[in-house]
Homo-oligomer: A and B are copies of this chain.
Amino acid sequence: MANRHGARNTEELIYRAAVGLMAARGYHGTTLRDVARAVSLQMSSIYYYFPSKQELLLAVMRRTTRDLRAAVEPPISAAGSVRERLGAGIRAHVLFHADRRLETLVTDSEIRALEGEGREEITALRDAYGDLFREVLETGLQEGVFSFEDSHVATNALMTMCAGVAVWYRPDGHTSLSRIADQLTHLYLDGVTASPPRQA
């Protein structure tokens, strides 16, 4: 174990350097030279671990997308009511986006940089992930717990609002992660309108 995140080998170091750079500059704005320099390696050495720049991006996308699903699905399943399931989902989704900020940033914004089959593969994974939330929302709609016009609009709004966390969240900020997750959950469930009127 080389550091607190448990990097064990060079491949992992390259992966992380790539993630950091691509999050900051985008896929096309990141050169393998940058990545190599960041890990004190020669550019050609990267090819020992990843067959191409594309595959490096794909590796990031695959791992992140799968980990995201693995982090969000269980809490949704474990929760009881639709409302609780949605809340659990949002919370896990937000926490993941904040915790693995750089990876989700890359994953959310560089799908367009994927070529050929890679793009299809990741797009499919993304769509399947979105279904997790759409299903909860639609169930809630049928149960009369939720109210909205178009489930696609509602799902997309949810996903982009929460994914935005990776854009603006700063680990050194004054608001704790858990509180942010709570706020977003509340916001999506009940809006910004003050609750008093409800109890009237």
Q: Taking beta carbons and an 8 Å cutoff, which residues of A are in contact with B? A: 24-29, 83, 86, 109, 112-113, 137, 140, 144-150, 152-154, 156-157, 159-161, 163-164, 167-168, 175, 179-180, 182-184, 186-199
Contact = CB atoms under 8 A, between A and B. Distances in A.
Nearest to A182: B149
A168 B148 CA distance: 18
A28 to B, nearest CB: 3
Number of copies: 4
Contact of A195 (B140, B147, B194, B195): B147
A83 B193 CA distance: 8
Contacts of A197: 198
B193 A145 contact: yes
B26 A112 contact: yes
Contact of A194 (B29, B112, B147, B159): B147
A147 B192 contact: yes
A188 B158 CA distance: 10
Nearest to A31: B28
Nearest to A185: B191
Nearest to A156: B168
Contacts of A150: 175, 179-180, 183
